[in-house]
Structure 1
Amino acid sequence: MSVTLPNVSLQQGTWFKLICGASFHHLPSIRELSFLYTLAGADCIDVAADPAIVQAAQQGIRRAQAEDPQVGSPWLMVSVNDGEDVHFRKAVLVDPVCPADCPQPCLAVCPPHALIRAGASTQVHIRAELCYGCGRCEPVCPHQRIATQGYQVAAAEILPSLLELGVEAVEIHTRIGRQSQFAQLWGSLKPWLRRLRAVSISFNDGPGLEAYLRDLLALMDPLPEVLIWQVDGRPMSGDIGAGTSKATLKLARKVLDMGLPGYVQLAGGTNGQTVSLLDPCWPVAGVAFGSYARQLVAAYLEGGSGLAGGIPLAKQLVQQVKRRAVAPRQTCFSGV
């Protein structure tokens, strides 16, 4: 297997990023996901900005490289935020007791099975390290017993130690209207830019998006060596159904038309149908997969010898992006 460097994958439109989750802190799963998707050929692995999480991902990467010396070295990326964001939250219990007659629909809708019954108890508990903040449990609780609690990463405090561990890229999650908050966060990152291979800006759609992104460009002076615009069409929804890709494709088209410097990468609602729906003429750099990529191999995580069963599934997903048909520019703009 020939290895393509991550920056070359961006240029070729075949960049594959695994999103482990900014709020997902389950070390065994992080190790196994990093192992499976490094072995499958991922270009980047995005994890929570936490030293223990970064080290777990590195352990998975090294294990994959030991098993197959021909696999590459994916960039390790950590996610930070400039304010409230759905990726930086956990489910919490606001009432410790489930009523005896509660059907507990929350158990069925939790993708990582972070909501559990403890032993013979009928009470639902939350395994916080497994929760990645999708929020699906909150609206289905008949007794409003569940809420979500957000947090903000202290980038200035944590980034130096993460860089020393080998983190190579940072993703900033932002929202329209947060110019001042972004500027403050950018100021804390600026001294470390020369040590980063890439900076990714993740955002949702909304009124005034182009003006906001251009404001961010003005604030990012100098621009990072590699700048990625992550269009997060429908956050954390790729495992729900095939149609979730539509929002990210719509947002990608909108951002591509802006002609911003840097690369455009899909996220939010991405799944097994995304690449087939993507127009070969669109100069999209690649695709990031989060909830769908995790669910695809969930049965094999922490599986010991059974982990091998997840390898072909991970490879199949990565190869959808690696074999993506990208039309030559002269074909796309010649009217053919």
Structure 2
Amino acid sequence: MLLQDSGLLSLESGSWFKLICGASYQHLPSIRNLALAYTLAGVDCIDVAADRAVINAALVGIEVAKSFRQEAIALSYNPSNPLLMVSVNDGEDPHFRKAYFNPSKCPPECDRPCEHICPADAIKFEHPTQGVKEKLCYGCGRCVPICPYGLIDTQSHVIGIQEVLNWLTELPINALEIHTQEGHFEHFCKLWQWLKPHLPQLQLIAISCPYTPTVTSYLHQIANYIKPLPIPLIWQTDGRPMSGDIGKGTTHLTIKYAQTMINEGFDDYLQLAGGTNEHTAVKMREMGLSPHKINGIAFGSKARKILADTLHELEVISPQNQLEEYPHLLWKAVSQAYQLVGSIKTVNEEKVL
């Protein structure tokens, strides 16, 4: 099975764009509408949690987008047929966690800083919802240190790879991403042995690992273990996880990480993640990194944030939460999504042409 032509061309040209819905994010209406808007804006890949309902929500969004393809083209967008990627982990990982606390223990005089800092609007102190709205939480952890009473904790979970692999024969999953980190090699190998026989069913495999000063030694160890591969491999340089919505400076570490990978001789596809935002592609070009060295960028928290107000407006006026039923909101969302999609595609594709 070959990687979809448009996705392969994007990787080769350095204009690959991946939407990260979140390895723990389970708010189905938002996932559906994010998939719809970003597909019309030209995304190459949509990365979702290993949750059957989440996968189906993304697939619905992608399918609905097909009905608006010609209209999108007329509006000068380049709608896509994105790969669907599912994220799994080989052990505890910050991407696979949820915040939790008992709101009954919160003192009445507390200013609720956790509610104000949450980028996913997942913490509420309004009846009937109290505490963490689990499906909205994607595990960024910003609420934990800010609680003045130390009442907030996180709960991690490991995705069962066997169940995900069973889905490959039932659902159109094109790619898997393995989240790992230094010290997990034994766990990675165990997961890989489960996965290896199923690689021919996929079009792409990605490996994501958070940055440390010695991370490339670990990644070389993984590369030596898994190669040769029958499908393309993407290394995801997860610089500052789940922070792209915070500010301009969050993007620096992931670019530094990718530079290190280039200098260390990693010759597979490289894709930035972790702290990525609208400044990432600009900063990458300013540093003289050609699109043929860094093949793409993944956007998570920033990609969700720029559509948040529009999707909230939809939620207020429509119990069904179907973005396509409100054309003014649909094309507003597509325009907002294209702020990020265009930041990498327009410049890099022009260079290739």
The TM-score normalised by the length of structure 1 is 0.92
Task: Quote how far apart the aligned CAs of 1:315 are.
Answer: 1.5
Judged with a 3 Å threshold, the aligned counterparts in structure 2 of structure 1 residues 294 and 30 are, in CA distance, closer, same or farther, namely same
Task: Quote how far apart the aligned CAs of 1:172 are.
Answer: 0.5
Paired residue for 1:322, among 334, 345, 348? 345
Q: Which residue of 2 aligns with 1:301?
A: 311
Task: Quote how far apart the aligned CAs of 1:325 are.
Answer: 3.9
CA RMSD in angstroms, aligned pairs only:
2.0
Q: Which residue of 2 aligns with 1:36?
A: 37
Q: Which has the higher helix share?
A: 2
Amino acid at match of 1:256: I
SS in 1 for 2:29: helix
4+ residue runs over 6 A deviation: 326-329
Superposed CA deviations along residues 128-155 of structure 1, whole A, max 9, x for unmatched, are 0000000011111111111111110001
Judged with a 3 Å threshold, the aligned counterparts in structure 2 of structure 1 residues 162 and 92 are, in CA distance, closer, same or farther, namely farther
Paired residue for 1:158, among 140, 161, 164? 164
Matches within 5 A, 1:159-198: 159-198=165-204
Give, in whole Å, the separation in 1 of the partners of 2:85 and 2:115: 31
Give, in whole Å, the separation in 1 of the partners of 2:351 and 2:80: 26
Q: Which residue of 2 aligns with 1:108?
A: 116
Task: Quote how far apart the aligned CAs of 1:301 are.
Answer: 1.6
Q: In the alignment, is residue 267 of structure 1 matched against residue 269 of structure 2? A: no
Judged with a 3 Å threshold, the aligned counterparts in structure 2 of structure 1 residues 218 and 266 are, in CA distance, closer, same or farther, namely same
Q: In the alignment, is residue 288 of structure 1 matched against residue 298 of structure 2? A: yes
Task: Quote how far apart the aligned CAs of 1:204 are.
Answer: 1.6
The TM-score normalised by the length of structure 2 is 0.88
State how many pairs are aligned: 325
Superposed CA deviations along residues 190-220 of structure 1, whole A, max 9, x for unmatched, are 1110011111110122243222111101221
Contact 1:39 1:68 (C-alpha < 8 Å) held by counterparts? yes
Task: Quote how far apart the aligned CAs of 1:261 are.
Answer: 3.1
SS in 1 for 2:48: strand
Matches within 5 A, 1:53-64: 53-64=54-65
SS in 1 for 2:94: coil
Task: Quote how far apart the aligned CAs of 1:326 are.
Answer: 8.0
Task: Quote how far apart the aligned CAs of 1:178 are.
Answer: 1.5
Mark the runs of 5 or more structure 1 residues left unpaired by the alignment: 330-336
- Greater mean deviation of Cα atoms: 136-145 or 73-82: 136-145
Superposed CA deviations along residues 245-292 of structure 1, whole A, max 9, x for unmatched, are 111111110011112231000000000111100035431001000000
Amino acid at match of 1:92: Y
Judged with a 3 Å threshold, the aligned counterparts in structure 2 of structure 1 residues 163 and 87 are, in CA distance, closer, same or farther, namely farther
Amino acid at match of 2:170: E
Contact 1:44 1:74 (C-alpha < 8 Å) held by counterparts? yes
Q: Which residue of 1 aligns with 2:320?
A: none
Matches within 5 A, 1:127-146: 127-146=133-152
SS in 2 for 1:133: coil
Judged with a 3 Å threshold, the aligned counterparts in structure 2 of structure 1 residues 131 and 250 are, in CA distance, closer, same or farther, namely same
Q: Which residue of 2 aligns with 1:333?
A: none
Give, in whole Å, the separation in 2 of the partners of 1:159 and 1:140: 38
Task: Quote how far apart the aligned CAs of 1:327 are.
Answer: 11
Task: Quote how far apart the aligned CAs of 1:300 are.
Answer: 1.5
- Greater mean deviation of Cα atoms: 281-290 or 93-102: 93-102
Give, in whole Å, the separation in 1 of the partners of 2:177 and 2:205: 6
Give, in whole Å, the separation in 1 of the partners of 2:289 and 2:140: 32
Mark the runs of 5 or more structure 2 residues left unpaired by the alignment: 74-78, 315-322
Q: Which residue of 1 aligns with 2:92?
A: 84
Contact 2:41 2:80 (C-alpha < 8 Å) held by counterparts? no
Identity of aligned residues (%): 45
